[in-house]
């Protein structure tokens, strides 16, 4: 029995340390992705690219939050401290997802209504194409670690990584279509379609955070 418990503790510690490494990678990657995507989006007046960059910033904040939470546990923090950090991380992750929903909705509707025509951006195509490859891999690695950790906050962070991958694919399609055909409105339609995935994930993260408080 004792050996079994020690083995479980060892497996959990390894999963937490793996999670810490993944979140360090997330923070570094998202910082670079945010700068490139937002820069390309502003230059091209593209709501879709700018939203992709904003999502990268939110994922950066989420990664930093999860890094904080996992490092507390990897450093041997007591259970009460870990639970407290977990609750804060859950609320932060849920709030960031809701913020992203609002940003995508408002900027997409406003841009379409005002007829803000995004310009071609091959840099945006390149950045989103790279993210299409990297983000699913990152989400899968986090999910594997969380099978042992069982963190609701990390689960929300995984949802944000998957959202980033989806948004990257939508951004790639929208930016590529715009660059090739000049159909600029496709980008707004693509951004709004993202909400079909994003809103349920945000509500689920919020419900998880509220459930822990009950």
Instruction: State the CB neighbour count (10 A cutoff) for residue 189.
Output: 15
- pLDDT confidence of 21, banded at 50, 70, 90? very high
For the ranges 94-98, 140-144, 186-190, the maximum mean pLDDT occurs at 140-144
Extents of the domains making up the chain: 2-213
Residues 6+ apart with CB under 8 A from 59: 26, 30, 160, 161, 164
pLDDT digits (tens, 9 = 90+) for 154-173: 887 888 788 788 778 877 88
Q: What is the DSSP string of 134-146?
A: HHHHHHHHHHHHH
pLDDT digits (tens, 9 = 90+) for 33-52: 999 999 988 888 777 788 78
pLDDT (0 to 100) of residue 29: 93
Q: pTM, whole model, 2 decimals? A: 0.75
**Taking the domain 2-213, which CATH number applies?**
1.20.1510
SS3 (DSSP) at 48: helix
Instruction: State the CB neighbour count (10 A cutoff) for residue 22.
Output: 23
Please say whether the beta carbons of 55 and 173 come within 8 A.
Answer: no
pLDDT (0 to 100) of residue 30: 93
pLDDT (0 to 100) of residue 211: 75
Q: How far apart are CA 126 and CA 105, in angstroms?
A: 24
What number is the average pLDDT over the span 180-199?
A: 79
């Amino acid at each position: 029995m004792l050996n079994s418990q020690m083995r479980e503790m060892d497996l959990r510690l390894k999963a937490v340390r793996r999670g810490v490494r993944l979140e360090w990678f997330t923070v570094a990657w998202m910082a670079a992705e945010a700068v490139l995507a937002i820069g390309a989006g502003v230059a091209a007046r593209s709501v879709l690219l700018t939203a992709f960059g904003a999502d990268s910033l939110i994922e950066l904040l989420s990664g930093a939050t999860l890094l904080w939470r996992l490092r507390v546990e990897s450093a041997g923090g007591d259970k009460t401290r870990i639970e407290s950090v977990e609750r804060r991380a859950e609320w932060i992750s849920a709030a960031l997802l809701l913020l992203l929903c609002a940003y995508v909705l408002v900027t997409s509707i406003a841009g379409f209504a005002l007829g803000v025509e995004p310009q071609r951006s091959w840099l945006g195509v390149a950045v989103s194409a790279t993210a299409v490859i990297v983000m699913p891999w990152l989400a899968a690695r986090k999910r594997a670690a969380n099978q042992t950790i069982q963190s609701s906050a990390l689960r929300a962070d995984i949802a944000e990584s998957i959202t980033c991958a989806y948004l990257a694919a939508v951004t790639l399609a929208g930016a590529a279509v715009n660059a090739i055909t000049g159909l600029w409105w496709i980008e707004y339609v693509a951004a709004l379609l993202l909400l079909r995935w994003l809103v349920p994930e945000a509500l689920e993260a919020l419900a998880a955070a509220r459930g822990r408080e009950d």
